[in-house]
Amino acid sequence: MFATLRNALLLSVSLLGAAWLYHWGIAGEDRYSLFDVLQGHPVPAVVAQAGGPDVGAKSEPPAPEQAASEGKKWSADELNSTELLLRTNRALADLTESVVPSVVSIDTTTTVDVPRYEPVDPFGFFGYRRSNQRYQAPGLGSGVIVSKEGHILTNHHVVAGVDAIRVTLHSGDQYDAEWVGSDPAADVAVLKIQVKDGPAGGERPVFRPLPFGDSDEVRVGDLALAIGNPFGLSESVTRGIISAKQRRLSDGANEYFQTDAVINPGNSGGPLVDARGHIIGVNTAIFTGQQDVRVWQGIGLAIPSNEAREVYEAIAFGRPLLRGYLGIELSDLTRYQAAVLRLGTTVGALVTDVAKDSPASSVGLLPGDVIVTFDGAEVKSADETLQRIRLKKSGSPVKATVIRKGEPIELTLTVAERPDTTTLKLRSDITASGQGITDNLGMTVRDLTDQEREAFGLRPSDPAIVISDVKPDSQAAQRFLPGDLIHMINRDPVRSSAEFFDLLGSLPKNEQSVIILTRRGQRFYAVLNPGG
């Protein structure tokens, strides 16, 4: 019994001695030990680092953003102080106040024809006649100003096929906006505010563009603010975090950020901003787990800012879109898949599908292969590999190591241009197409002067342009004469020659379209087939 007590005492003394040696000889003053507990020192989580303010001092805590940038650890008094909460609250309010003036509400109108059938006689014995009832369908969306010239970034689906676009600024001023171009595949569109339609008698408005952030630097868990026009409630701001990145399956699909910041119908096209007030995404969709439920269920999707910026610069400045493509779908390896494939690790990217006639299929890459190295670096995840493929330039050779049936295989793939890079739609291209169709028909059109409108008995708002010249032996010579007035194309009014070119360039190919004209006061119709 005495021997047991002696051994326990010796063990205790040895442990205390070891702790003392570790504290003073190895850990130093920056370590937290048993002696600190015995002396009543606070835990390290609430103690400032060496050289920081004294715990007992009453100095004012630095701003949260400053502390974050300096890697500061808050003291116990600072963490328990309501001043910290007030500073954080003010920082968020200041951030919101600086961002909101760059966000606009977008109202659109689309002409819709609804067929109606009316009886020929009161009882319908002799059949029914068809007539169209026309009405203007309103639309709603959001956008963000990205240039001092008034360029606006929004979603393609917000403005696709609309007849008129009206934007409302933070100041309450309203302007007509021109559609400049879109990338339907990326769901990004660019508008430009028409200053000439702004408030009369004032100076040229000053637009406050919001800068782009680098979406590649965004981390899961980062703060995110969504600003938009949900359900017509303008300038609504919601706060959340980035819940996930790179929500896509293949290198040919769009990438999205997932956020829990509340997004509802009307938010589409509005910005997702970071703590610096920079655009890190364009809000585009919400996930609904139940059919016919179009309200927030916790998952919002946003187009990363680098993708949106690339489309914007291609449309506004004519810069080419560069997107790498191999034609593969990838997923992360599960433990079960790794065991079945006889791999000792889940590090790598599993090829789940290979597109036909793609660069990947041409070198024999197969579903079930596991990519373990790509372009000289180890593959960490499927998402990371897809991003690296996208950033590679078209024509670049890339070496990859894949595991197939337990054996490594070396492949060299040539990155191609992503197929959807040709889907960019520009207003200038549509106008040029309309001008080309007009030239091919062999006619020239121009706007009417005020004197000519008065002579024809036309009001300033009446749609009309005039055919000023028709080439002999042309297609136009078989249908038109100089002096004919063009009023409509397929029920769309023509108020200017520019609008005529836009409508003509937008006509479906190889389908008949109708032009409504007047000649010496008599109305007639001409049928066109732009692709014929």
Please list the active-site residues.
157, 187, 268
* Coarse DSSP helix, strand, coil percentages of the chain, rounded to the nearest 5 percent: 30, 30, 40
**Measured distance CA(76)–CA(505) in Å, rounded:** 68
Angle subtended by helix axes 497-505 and 427-441, to nearest 10: 90
Decide if 516 contacts 528 (C-beta within 8 A).
no
Pairing mode of beta strands 300-304, 279-286: antiparallel
**Measured distance CA(306)–CA(218) in Å, rounded:** 11
Q: What is the dihedral of CA 509, 512, 515, 516, to 10 degrees?
A: -150
Decide if 126 contacts 159 (C-beta within 8 A).
no
CA angle 484, 460, 444 (to 5 degrees): 30
Match 């051994």 to its residue by tokens: 7
Match 């000053």 to its residue by tokens: 206
* Count of residues in the chain: 532
> Which residues have a Cβ under 8 Å from the Cβ of 326 and sit 6 or more positions away?
251, 358, 359, 360, 389, 413, 415, 416
**Measured distance CA(371)–CA(451) in Å, rounded:** 72
Per-residue 3-state assignment (H helix, E strand, C coil) for 410-463: EEEEECEECHHHHHCEEHHHHHHHHHHHHHHHCEEEECCCHHHHHHHCCCCCCC
> Phi and psi of 387, rounded to 5°?
-65, -40
Decide if 282 contacts 154 (C-beta within 8 A).
yes
How many CA atoms, within 13 angstroms, populate the side-chain half-sphere of residue 23?
12
The 8-class DSSP code of residue 27 comes to I
Quick one: 299 exposed, middle or buried, by C-beta within 10 A (0-12, 13-18, 19+)? Answer: middle
